[in-house]
Amino acid sequence: MIGPAKIYFLIFGLLTIVGGVIGYVKAGSTASIIAGAISGIALIVAAYLLPGNVVLGLVVAGVVSILLAGRFIPAFMQTGKIMPAGLMAVLSAIGVVVAIVAWIKK
pLDDT tens figures, 77-105: 999 999 889 999 999 999 999 999 999 99
2 pLDDT tier (thresholds 50, 70, 90): confident
Can you count the helices (H) and strands (E) in the chain? 4, 0
Contact yes or no for 24/55 (Cβ under 8 A):
no
CA distance 22 to 28: 9
Angle between helices 54-79 and 30-49 (to 10 degrees): 150
106 pLDDT tier (thresholds 50, 70, 90): confident
Domain enclosing residue 42, as ranges: 2-105
Q: What is the mean pLDDT of residues 24-45?
A: 95
Residue 40 C-alpha from the chain's centroid = 7
The pTM score is: 0.92
Number of structural domains found in the chain: 1
Transcribe 54-99 into DSSP letters: HHHHHHHHHHHHHHHHHHHHHHHHHH--IIIIIHHHHHHHHHHHHH
% the chain with pLDDT above 90: 89
DSSP state of 53: -
